[in-house]
Structure 1
Amino acid sequence: MKRFLQLAIFALFLAPTAALAHVGVGNTSGFAHGFMHPLSGLDHQLALILVGVFAYQLGGRALWLVPLTFVSVMALGGFLGVAGMPVPFVEIGIALSVIVLGAVVAFGFKAPLAVAMGAVGLFAIFHGHAHGSEMPLDASGFEYGIGFMLATAVLHAVGISIGFLIGMSSRTFGNNVYRLAGGLASVAGVALLLGYV
């Protein structure tokens, strides 16, 4: 697990920043906008980090299958958004993803792998559609998609790292830190749902 944490931290340092010095020019515009979209909203940040924490709690193959499912299905949702195909209740679905994933983390729900993948896949449709439908008109769809998929993977890695750190603290505090983190995230999700954030 120590090796995985080191790889996750290394992945954060690979996030391209110097290469994007000329944002707004050509294909980098698409990539930069796509990469920044998941990072620019609290709703996306919370949900994507919670997916990582949830995957860590499940352990085993879920550690990579749950985030991979989210990123893959989110790409499909992004395509629907770019194509202008409607998906109902996108903002509600995003807020509910924060509420539900926060509760799942707080209560340490040990879902079967298929159920976990199905649940995050459902939420990924909403997040992907929001990303796709907000793509700038002059951006390249391919680069934009790569950008938001990479940012999502980075946030999942952050969530897995947070899950690891919380797991380490559980030796002292039991599951109380998971409960606190998940509970606060769910409260934030309710605030998002009600339009307070």
Structure 2
Amino acid sequence: MKRLAALALPALVLLPQAALAHPGHGEAAGLVHGFLHPVSGADHVLAMVAVGLLAALRGGRALWALPAAFLALMAAGAGLGMAGVEVSGLGLPVAETGIALSVVAFGLAAAFGLRLPVAALGALVGGFATFHGYAHGAEMPETASGLVYGLGFLAGTALLHAAGLGLGLAIAAGTRRTVMAPMLGGAVVASGVVLLAGHF
């Protein structure tokens, strides 16, 4: 079952339209659309599940701190995207590259068991979350419906973090942690490289 999970991650990027979770790919209004947005693109799914995986493998305060950092800075990035603000050249093309890089970075951190302090891991996760948020916010309508959409994508993101936490806790409690964590991390890295290659 665990091997199946490891193989499923790179397979996500091979699904038709899997990586297309950004503007021009459907209506961006309402709670349901917001909730479905993060779970409909391989780039977001891989990154957000990987955050939960990292948090579980790190343990302790990281269990809540890493998902919280991601959610908070993703919301901040969404605000920038909604306002159409470009900070140091941050625009949608750069944001999408940043999202692909986040998948690679989170996968490497899981594969090598990166043991940074929780604050440093939170900064890493939160920094990349800004790109995810910007991409979400750039397509969010400037209406009350858009606010509800934003709450939906935060809920969808939290659900993906929870899935990663569950997977990571199962691995941490198992006898094959030293094999499974690098295997899953490597699968995430490989998927991120495929996503990244699509931007060049």
Aligned position for 2:187: 184
- Work out the CA distance in 1 between the residues paired with 2:148 and 2:130: 19
Aligned position for 1:15: none
Is 1:194 equivalent to 2:197 in the alignment?
Answer: yes
Aligned position for 2:125: 120
- Work out the CA distance in 2 between the residues paired with 1:99 and 1:70: 16
Task: Give yes or no for contact 1:34–1:143 (8 Å, CA) kept in 2.
Answer: yes
Whichever of the two has the greater Rg, that structure is 1
Aligned position for 2:77: 77
Aligned position for 1:146: 151
Equivalences, count: 167
Secondary structure of 2:106's aligned partner: helix
Normalising by the residue count of structure 2, what TM-score does the alignment of the two structures yield?
0.79
Q: Give the 4+ runs in structure 1 shifted more than 6 A.
A: none
Aligned position for 1:58: 58
Aligned position for 2:15: none
Aligned position for 2:33: 33
Aligned position for 2:109: 104
Task: Give yes or no for contact 2:49–2:160 (8 Å, CA) kept in 1.
Answer: yes
- Work out the CA distance in 2 between the residues paired with 1:41 and 1:137: 23
Consecutive unaligned residues of structure 1, counting only runs of 5 or more, are: 1-27
RMSD: 1.7
Consecutive unaligned residues of structure 2, counting only runs of 5 or more, are: 1-27
- Work out the CA distance in 1 between the residues paired with 2:154 and 2:177: 34
Secondary structure of 2:30's aligned partner: helix
- Work out the CA distance in 2 between the residues paired with 1:174 and 1:60: 17
Which amino acid is the alignment partner of residue 134 of structure 2? H
Which amino acid is the alignment partner of residue 109 of structure 2? V
Secondary structure of 2:50's aligned partner: helix
- Work out the CA distance in 1 between the residues paired with 2:60 and 2:171: 17
Which amino acid is the alignment partner of residue 73 of structure 1? L
- Once the two structures are aligned, what percentage of the paired residues are identical? 47
Aligned position for 1:95: 100
Normalising by the residue count of structure 1, what TM-score does the alignment of the two structures yield?
0.80
Aligned position for 1:158: 163
Task: Give yes or no for contact 1:48–1:152 (8 Å, CA) kept in 2.
Answer: yes
Which amino acid is the alignment partner of residue 135 of structure 1? M
Q: Which has the higher helix share?
A: 1
TM-superposed deviation, 1:138 = 6.4
TM-superposed deviation, 1:134 = 2.0
Which amino acid is the alignment partner of residue 167 of structure 1? A
